[in-house]
Amino acid sequence: MKISSFKERVYAVASKIPRGKVATYGQIARLAGSSGAARAVGLCMKNNPDTKKVPCHRVVASDGSLTGYAYGKGIVTKREMLVREKVKFSQDRVDLGSSLWKTG
């Protein structure tokens, strides 16, 4: 049995975030088996090798703010992509009440 690395688990979890929903860095860390590793999830997202397979733009801070995005024009591009996917915003933050990905 192959034991996957943390990074592989993070990418596997993030690849399941549906269009129109977001997950938080902490949520991804918990689902990947390392609840205190939200910053490490951010590093994984920054170094994401396949943005088509792993939609890192759908990962946001625990307060709904858009922190970091390594592609296009950064956070501007991240917001544009989320708006196109019909993610709900309240001012400059994602409305987590309506757009947070609910997992099991």
- What pLDDT digit, counting tens, does each position of 16-59 carry? 999 999 999 999 999 999 999 999 999 999 999 999 999 999 99
Q: Does domain 6-93 have CATH number 1.10.10.10?
A: yes
- Which residues are CB-contacts of 4 (< 8 A; sequence separation ≥ 6)? 12
* Whole-prediction pTM: 0.93
**Rounded CA gap, 46 and 97, in Å?**
25
Give the pLDDT confidence score for residue 41 in this predicted structure: 97
Q: What is the mean pLDDT of residues 78-103?
A: 96
Which residue is catalytic, options 17, 29, 32, 56?
56
Q: What is the mean pLDDT of residues 82-93?
A: 96
Banded pLDDT at 4 (limits 50, 70, 90): confident
44 is catalytic: no
Round the average pLDDT of the chain to a whole number and report it: 94
One-letter identity of residue 66? L
Would you list the domain boundaries of the chain? 6-93
